[in-house]
Amino acid sequence: MDLTNETIKERLTGKFGDQLSQFEEPYGMLTFEAPAALNLKVMQFLFDDTELRFQFLTDLCAVHYPDQQGKELAVVYHLHNLADNVRIRMKIFVPVEKPDVFTATQLYSSANWMERETYDFYGVNFIGHPNLIRILNVDEMEYFPMRKEFPLEDQTRIDKDDAMFGRGGSGN
């Protein structure tokens, strides 16, 4: 059976209507956005549906876009249907002040540490996670180091202009 990106898109829009948006196919992988309140429902549907069967969570991570007002943090899920060998990518955007996302640990045991890592570095609050504590950083840390407001180099250095690295002027 061939499961194409069009079929997946049809099944998803048939179930969730226009709540899912931004369907794209960068480098052949179907990518879409889901509202934060629906992430678990969409994943459950992708998991249980007899045609879709996305039962393998390949990867879970977050991205920080400080310039997008109200949707600064993106949680990105890479799901894999091993039987038909199709991968998809689902994105959830949440505001940085209230980064609440439902946990996927009930569906995928592998999500446990991946969500802890995402919390550790970006502060995404996974509601319902059994043990949401830091995993790679020290427990005493009070900030989320992968966010963009923590630049890697000392920004007081004046001998190195950020324009040389292709983005923005100095001071960012």
Partner 1 sequence: MSIEHHIKLPEGSIERATTTLNLGPTHPATHGVFQNILELDGERIVGAVQTVGYIHRAFEKIAERRPLFQITTLTDRLNYCSSPINNMGWHITCEKLLGVKTPKRVDYLRIIIMELSRISDHLICNSVVGVDSGAFTGFLYVMQYRELIYEIYEEICGSRLTTNIGRIGGFERNFTPTAFQKLDKFLAEYPGVLKEFENLFTRNRIFMERTIGAGPISAERAMNYGFTGPNLRAAGVDYDVRVHTPYSSYEDFEFEIPVGNTGDCYDRFLVRNQEMWQSLRIIGQAYDKVKAFKGAEAEVYHADAPSYYLPSKKDVYTKMEALIWHFKIVMGETEIPPGEVYQSVEGGNGELGFYLISDGGRTPYRLHFRRPCFIYYQAYSELTKGAMLSDAVIVMSSLNLIAGEMDA
Helices 39-48 and 5-16, interaxial angle, to 10°? Answer: 130
DSSP class of 162: G
User: Which residue in 18, 140, 142, 153 binds partner 1 (CB under 8 A)?
Assistant: 153
14 touching partner 1, by CB under 8 A: no
Q: Give the separation between CA 52 and CA 10, rounded to whole angstroms.
A: 11
143 binds partner 1, rule: CB under 8 A: no
Asked if 61 and 145 count as a contact pair (C-beta separation under 8 A), the reply is: no
141 binds partner 1 (CB under 8 A): no
User: Nearer Cβ to partner 1, position 3 or 61?
Assistant: 61
Q: What is the DSSP string of 62-95?
A: EEE-TTSTT--EEEEEEEEETTTTEEEEEEEEE-
- Binds partner 1 (CB under 8 A): choice among 54, 93, 108, 119: 108
Binding mask 119-138 for partner 1 (x = CB under 8 A): --x-------------xxx-
Can you tell me which of 11, 53, 71, 78 binds partner 1, judged by CB under 8 A?
Answer: 78
Of the candidates 89, 91, 88, the residue with the CA atom closest to the CA atom of residue 68: 91
Residue numbers at the binding site for partner 1 (CB under 8 A)? 26-27, 29, 31, 55-59, 61, 63-64, 76, 78, 82, 85, 87, 89, 108-110, 112-114, 117, 121, 135-137, 145-146, 152-153, 164-167
